[in-house]
Structure 1
Amino acid sequence: MGDGSVVPRLGSMKALLGIVAGAGASYGLYKLISGQVFKKTKKNPHNESPSVKSSQQGGIKLRPGSLLAKVSGLDVVCARPDDATSGEIVHQSPNKLELHHLKILLSRLQTIDDVSNRAQFLLTLGNAAAFTINQNQIRELEGIPVIAGFLSDPAPEVRVQALNALNNLCMNIENQEQIKLYVPQVLELIEMSAVNSDLQLGALRLLTNLSVTDKHQHLLKGSVTLLLSLLVVSSEALQVQTLKVLVNLSSNPDMMDDIVQAQAPASVLLLFDERTSPAVLLRLLTFVGNLKAWRPSAQVADELRRKQDCLFRVMLDESSQLHSKLVRLLSHPAGEIQAQVARVLT
């Protein structure tokens, strides 16, 4: 068992503890899907975005029908005509992107000053990274540190696209060995960003992918308090992603000591309510089921009871109100929820 201390890093989240509760939450067990393809956004070819106009004024040749436009779904900046090393990016399917195309993208990304263009190039790399061959090539080109460098970009939209690109790259086990180095920075983004922001959502998606297997879950053991605090103050979309991470962690018995010792707002119990959407309850019950599968010794249970506001006291101790809330959910109109509650109570 751990040293029994929990040092929460709540930052701006600390002021949110114990505030709103009762917002819906949900969780779906995450499946690592290789070859995910992002939806392409179509733009009116007769309308030019500000970034396109500024790029043209800067002397960069634009190719609306180029590979980059096909991959990202946006007008993008192509190589300068006088750049002899860049070559021409030809029309082809993103899953057949060649090595020199990725070299161009990564090289140009590091020299772009315009915010919209930086976000655009990261979007293109992220979409390309939906394919295994590109995931490997980006790693071999040392592109992961390049992309991760934009996690500290001043522009929020650039940070969001960097997270999205890393999220796709994270679907590759070998890439995870590099991406895990940026977990502290990703957690800081969650902690310091506005609640329900795209930054928080993108960061949680990345942590979901990284925590699918138990190999890197230990990197998140100090973040459970932050996740539980976020769970009670965020919108349903963010609660879903938060619970995905929590369920991944709670499925690992080696993580349970850290989870049950984490500080938890008592208001999290208000989520176990008939007014919460069925999708939310099913996923929340999965998390609780994982917790209840853990059986501490009498000595460990006594130690945990002495920890103020820890998750064990809030959800698992005999004094917890969770049991009575679960019993009331046995009469939920959705049969699937009734069945899940019955399994948890067994």
Structure 2
Amino acid sequence: MQYQAHRFCVAPMMDWTDRHCRVFHRRLTKRALLYTEMVTADAVIHGDRERLLGFSNEEHPLALQLGGSDPAKLAVAARIGAELGYDEINLNVGCPSDRVQEGRFGACLMAEPQLVAACVAAMRDSQPVPVTVKCRIGIDDQDSESDLTRFIETVAESGCRTFIVHARKAWLKGLSPKENREVPPLDYQRVYRLKDRRPDLTIILNGGIETIEDAQTHLQHLDGVMLGRAAYQNPYLLACVDSVIFGEPSDPTTRGDALAAMLPYVGAHLAKGGRLSNITRHVLGLYHGQPRGRAFRRHLSERATDASATANVLSEAIALAQYGGERQDRSDAA
């Protein structure tokens, strides 16, 4: 099954795309495909599933990203994800962090395409939802176009039909994860050529996409795009995804409307003993580039972190951003 939602995805990002972030993003777009943070197969099998894997029905379409290299464990984790109701299971073959490498998963697996194929086959055989792979264009000195083609074709033979390709290679030694997102040059043309060679596969581009206009350009060549930090740090760009990318009517949503729609969710979270800052940390970029944006962020940063903070703090921030208030510094701008 190929999801039209793959036309626009929000990337899995550790410590960022948790369930609260995803509910907020869903207030802005109904159609984009959302991803969890990466969860290791061992954590899925042995950990607190509600904490690690719990989600709200409104988050669909939603994919679970797994990390691991043991086909048997990944098969169990994929089955658990499918039983919980995830729409897709994604295997991380792109993260270059030392911790991930020590666990023998992430980008280092690009050196072992046969193992990745075995993992994908086991995951597919264990449950009915699609299994996809997120990878880089190469690693270390194994970064030729033929290396990427060999990796993709080997994994595709296992039945994987969808690949999310970060258009940078990863240096497994010598660069931090942050540097690996910025230092290796982007090579979009290599991903375009991959699609030309394998038109039967669904190829989604990740890496360096900053705007909806950028996304539209890439969609002339590829099946989909995946935005990461741009969608997180400037989330209001998601408000036009349904109409511009999917050609569907979208509810006219102002920034204030999107936040006001979060208030019932905030109240439910607080009633269960959660903290306001668990949610508000994900909305700080909503008024990026807007008048009073800095005042909005300051209000939440100062007030929402208090353990006793209530939903009123978010309501006050909405009013401050929209209409100003006594706390507004008239010189403030995002």
Q: TM-score, normalised to structure 2's length? A: 0.32
Q: Higher Cα Rg: structure 1 or 2?
A: 1
Higher relative contact order (CA 8 A, sep 6+): 1
Q: Which has the higher helix share?
A: 1
Q: TM-score, normalised to structure 1's length? A: 0.31
Q: Which has the higher strand share?
A: 2
